[in-house]
């Protein structure tokens, strides 16, 4: 009987999952998949094996029974695992949780007390935290007695210097938890670990990691530790994203409130779901579609995205007192040679010289031999990072 570990990443209308074989204490991916459209008239399920080959797709509508809740989705995932991977026993579940607040800085075993604390953090991440918690409760119902671990996107950033953590507002708010938390920490931690394997000298130096995707941010890493991030109090800050605005003058919010009469709920929807690449282009939040478009709006949306990434390279390099390496990761960072090329264009002043041929084929190292600063493309693997943390915390890993 083989042992498996499931990693769940629960969003508002989707659940992503990875199934790992952990029989020998080392996680090996057996399947990845997701359920999209929870609560919608049509729900879609798809899964692939560890090599990326399709294991099937299914579609549910109102007639066949659309998947309405996270509990329904987890039940579907469990049934699919039993049908597709017979003879396995689920020994643990790892959960990606966006916010751990000030107090929770490492992966934790999930208890009712931990869930209660996570619920107090909902005001800090209103569009993510409730769904993470819903996924946890659904998994508890589906896998009674199976230990579960929460791994947090904020943990990697919790040792920032004060000046990189605070806002220039009365200090009482900082003490209450209004500070720069940073996110995408699971991805940054994985990339940092991979850097130690493939480029150990650079990994111990001054590194900027650009996690560019539908959600986008950048992180300054020194000696393997985060010291600054473009994301701040919320996942809205910093770079423009698929549908999120990124950096925004707070006066704009006052204008929307006072002059446009918008409610906080309307503003939240505007900034989280109608802005970013989608809002600027009026076409799509998908960089691939924008790159394929010949419209001025699509071109200007990409221009702004690139401009902001270039600006943050300079800012984070200043934070690091120099630069030894840059890493691109995430869906755009890993796959769009055009975006990488434009970001790194004319960056010789900071020590970057791009190898265009290597960049076009998405090579791991895309800087030229003349480049003082090395530039890498590293595929992130948040699921594996969560699985390793889960095994380590439960004492189920190889080291145990």
| Catalytic residue positions, numbered | 153
Strand ranges (DSSP E) for 201-289?
206-211, 217-222, 225-229
What's the Rg (C-alpha) of the chain?
A: 21
Query: CA separation (Å) from 66 to 151, 171, 268?
Result: 30, 48, 28
**How many angstroms separate the CA atoms of 363 and 357, rounded?**
9
Closest CA to 93 of 335, 389, 341: 389
Closest CA to 27 of 389, 395, 384, 392: 384
Under DSSP, the state recorded for 176 is H
**How many residues in total does the chain contain?**
400
Enclosing H/E stretch for 172 = helix 171-176
Cβ(220)–Cβ(208) below 8 Å: yes
Closest CA to 29 of 18, 13, 14: 18
């Amino acid at each position: 009987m083989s042992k498996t570990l499931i990693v769940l990443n629960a969003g508002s209308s989707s659940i992503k999952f990875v199934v790992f074989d952990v029989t020998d204490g080392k996680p090996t991916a057996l399947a990845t998949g997701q359920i999209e459209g929870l609560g919608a008239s049509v729900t879609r399920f798809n899964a692939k094996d560890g090599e990326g080959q399709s294991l099937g797709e299914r579609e549910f509508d109102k007639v066949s029974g659309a998947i309405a809740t996270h509990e329904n989705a987890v039940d579907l995932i469990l049934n699919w695992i039993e049908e597709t991977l017979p003879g396995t026993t689920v020994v643990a579940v790892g959960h990606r949780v966006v916010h751990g607040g000030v107090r929770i800085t490492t992966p934790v075993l999930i208890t009712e007390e931990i869930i209660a604390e996570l619920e107090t953090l909902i005001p800090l991440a209103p569009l993510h935290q409730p769904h993470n918690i819903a996924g946890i409760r659904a998994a508890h119902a589906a896998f009674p007695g199976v230990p579960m671990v929460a791994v947090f996107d904020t943990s990697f950033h919790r040792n920032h210097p004060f000046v990189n953590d605070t806002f220039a507002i009365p200090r009482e708010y900082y003490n209450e938890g209004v500070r720069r938390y940073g996110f995408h920490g699971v991805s940054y931690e994985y990339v940092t670990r991979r850097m130690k394997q493939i480029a150990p000298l650079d990994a111990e130096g001054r590194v900027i990691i650009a996690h560019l995707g539908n959600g986008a941010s950048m992180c300054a890493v020194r000696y393997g530790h985060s010291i600054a991030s473009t994301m701040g109090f919320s996942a809205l800050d910093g770079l423009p994203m698929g549908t999120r605005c990124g950096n925004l003058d707070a006066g704009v919010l006052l204008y929307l409130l006072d002059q446009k009469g918008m409610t906080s709920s309307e503003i939240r929807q505007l900034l989280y779901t109608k802005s970013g690449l989608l809002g600027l282009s009026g076409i799509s939040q998908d960089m691939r579609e924008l790159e394929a478009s010949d419209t001025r709006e699509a071109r200007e949306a990409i221009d702004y995205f690139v401009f902001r990434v270039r600006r943050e390279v300079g800012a984070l390099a200043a934070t690091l007192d120099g630069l030894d390496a840059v890493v691109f990761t995430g869906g755009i960072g890993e796959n769009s040679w055009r975006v990488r090329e434009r970001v790194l264009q004319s960056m010789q002043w900071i020590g970057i010289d791009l190898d265009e041929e290597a960049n076009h084929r998405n090579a791991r190292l895309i800087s030229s031999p003349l480049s003082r600063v090395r530039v890498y493309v590293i595929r992130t693997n948040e699921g594996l990072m969560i699985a390793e943390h889960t095994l380590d915390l439960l004492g189920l890993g190889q080291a145990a």
